[in-house]
Chains A and B, each alone.
Chain A
Amino acid sequence: MQRWIRNFFDTHRPKFEKEGRFHRYHGLFEAFETIFFLPDSTTSQSPHIRDSLDLKRFMSIVILAIVPVALFGIYNTGFYACLAAGKSTAFLPSFMQGLLIFIPLLVVSYGVGFFWEALFAVRRGHGISEGFLVSGLLYPLILPPDLPLWQAAIGISFGVVIGKEIFGGTGRNLLNPALTARAFVFFAYPGQMSGDAVWISGGATDAVSGATALAISAQAEPGSQIPAMLDQAGLGLFELFVGRTPGSIGETSALLCLVGALILIITGVANWRIMVGGVLGVLGTGMLLNQLATGSLAAAMGLPAYYHLVMGGFAFGIVFMATDPVTAPGTDAARWLYGFLIGALTVLIRVFNPAYPEGTMLAILFMNLFAPLLDHFVIQIRLRKRISHV
């Protein structure tokens, strides 16, 4: 089998080389070949480090870390869809139902995204990078389950083309492509992207309320006790941590995001400073607001800070989105600050912005904009510490 594939690529390679008939499609050919075989070409210019960690392996580890979250997300989405439809909520039927919801979104995300990647690769003569395998998997996971597929397609088109390809492809984008895509859909089609009805496939019914923990906390009257209200709605701290709650497909389980975070940190793929900074930002801001909370101000101010870590998409965002090495800062001090500000902004938006119950997505996009500036300041401070004209 392996020899057959090898032969296939070898016989067709000349057509894609410089003088070949299809040399325009060289990037496409290479992308498919490197799925099956390790490329034998190495970086031609010095300096370079001998390491087995190339972009493909790097991205494979990220995908591996996302898989548990995705599998649980599929089950959870299916569970709520079955519950809303009044069907059996046993494990297997729920999982199948979830697959029926998730797979079309995934196919659209990969299919449409790959189309744009390939178009740009062919027209502009650069290779197709593995980065899109991650963005294309993250994108459906942060969508509400019932989003019409054409809207998902328009979103990923915007994310890939405006968010990434016009800057020259993977490694050159300023904003996280998956989040850009989601933000675009969020602002373009608010009816399908927010509110109580969208988080459960089939819509909320009398039997199941579609309200997420964030919506409950945002709509609570001043002076009310949110943790008790959440318990009453079946969204206690434990359920929120494990992820048995309605929400975007992949965002609900803080526990499995933590597992993903461990995989990413142990393999050295994602930077732990950003994640720890983010958690500190949430806890610090949350506790500060707890101190300031009084009966007449927003009830969410009194919500214990650790609830913000498990509610909504914060865990997913800080682990898989904020740590994107292209759009995050490159210096350690800037990473701490970047993570901290994402956490702080998330809490501030959740508590004080009545327009959005959730702030993680826009907090990360906002900090993406300031990542180069943070790096610049860190470098300037370091330069100033040097002894001049030694």
Chain B
Amino acid sequence: MENLMGIFLNSVFVGNILLAYFLGMCSFVAVSGNLKTATGLGFAVIFVLAITTPVNWFIHHYLLAPGALAWAGLPDVDLNFLRFITFIASIAAMVQIVEMVIERISQALYTALGVFLPLIAVNCAILGTSLFMVERNYNFSESLVFGLGSGTGWFLAIVAMASLRQKLRYADLPYGLEGYGITMIVTGLMAMGFMIFSGIAL
């Protein structure tokens, strides 16, 4: 239990997927202009990460890892070289399924998330989390918590960025820096603020 708490806090604060590893930057920069849509996308990312990370854990452990196919009578087969393409395919498929399920169950949530839901398929924070999960040898429950934590960290970053950009409406920016330019600089400053946690071992 303590271990799971540690993984969660670590992935939200210390190893924030966005501000420590800079993954998922494109949708972060593009969608943080408005606090409401940023919150929506943040929740969608938490949701998708909490599903894809454990699913990819199953794929890795029962199909791809060296010796994973022992259950099928093929203990010598190593399909690890297929990891990237399989993970991407499974993420895209999961996002599609999640989208269809949400549309079927809750029309309101579906319209609220809108175009951002399919966009998550190409958010590199999702793939990055799955790859970190393999690299760090997490077990099933750990990978579930890691997915949740990574998503929460991403959510925290994009919501903070959206509120900062709201404040920046009153700023007097140099012509060339308006929009994406200042967002990149603020991302750097945010990463500096998040370095408060770097070095904590959980």
- Measured CB to CB, the residues of A under 8 A from B are 124, 126, 162-163, 166-169, 172, 174-175, 180, 183-184, 187, 345, 349, 352-356, 359, 362-363, 365-366, 368-370, 372-373, 375-376
A37→B119 CA distance, assembly (Å): 58
Chain A CB within 8 A of B185 CB: yes
Could you tell me which residues of chain B, from 32 to 67, have a CB within 8 Å of some CB in chain A? 35
Contacts of B195 in A (CB 8 A): 187, 362
Contacts of A345 in B (CB 8 A): 196
A376→B163 CA distance, assembly (Å): 8
Contacts of A167 in B (CB 8 A): 168, 171-173, 182
Provide 27 A-B residue pairs closer than 8 Å at the C-beta atoms, listed in order of the A residue: A126-B172, A163-B189, A166-B174, A166-B185, A167-B171, A167-B173, A168-B171, A172-B168, A172-B170, A172-B172, A174-B189, A175-B189, A352-B200, A353-B199, A353-B200, A356-B196, A366-B193, A366-B196, A369-B164, A369-B193, A372-B163, A372-B164, A372-B167, A373-B159, A375-B163, A376-B35, A376-B163
Chain B 152-171, CB-CB to A under 8 Å as 1, else 0, gives 00000001100110111011
A162→B186 CA distance, assembly (Å): 9
Chain B 81-111, CB-CB to A under 8 Å as 1, else 0, gives 0000000000000000000000000000000
Chain A CB within 8 A of B192 CB: yes
Chain A CB within 8 A of B177 CB: yes
Contacts of A352 in B (CB 8 A): 200
Enumerate the 8 nearest inter-chain pairs by beta-carbon distance, A residue then B residue, closest first: A355-B199, A168-B172, A362-B196, A373-B163, A372-B163, A172-B171, A366-B193, A372-B167
Q: Tell me the total A-B contact number using a CB cutoff of 8 A.
A: 82
Chain B 187-202, CB-CB to A under 8 Å as 1, else 0, gives 0011011111111110
- Cβ of B196 and Cβ of A162 under 8 Å apart? no
- Cβ of A354 and Cβ of B201 under 8 Å apart? yes
Contacts of B192 in A (CB 8 A): 180, 183-184, 187, 365
Contacts of B194 in A (CB 8 A): 366
A169→B171 CA distance, assembly (Å): 8
Contacts of B185 in A (CB 8 A): 162, 166
A306→B35 CA distance, assembly (Å): 39
Q: Which residue of B lies closest to A168 (CB)?
A: B172
Contacts of A180 in B (CB 8 A): 189, 192
Contacts of A365 in B (CB 8 A): 192-193, 196
- Cβ of B171 and Cβ of A362 under 8 Å apart? no
Contacts of A183 in B (CB 8 A): 192
- Cβ of B199 and Cβ of A354 under 8 Å apart? yes
A47→B85 CA distance, assembly (Å): 61
A13→B160 CA distance, assembly (Å): 45
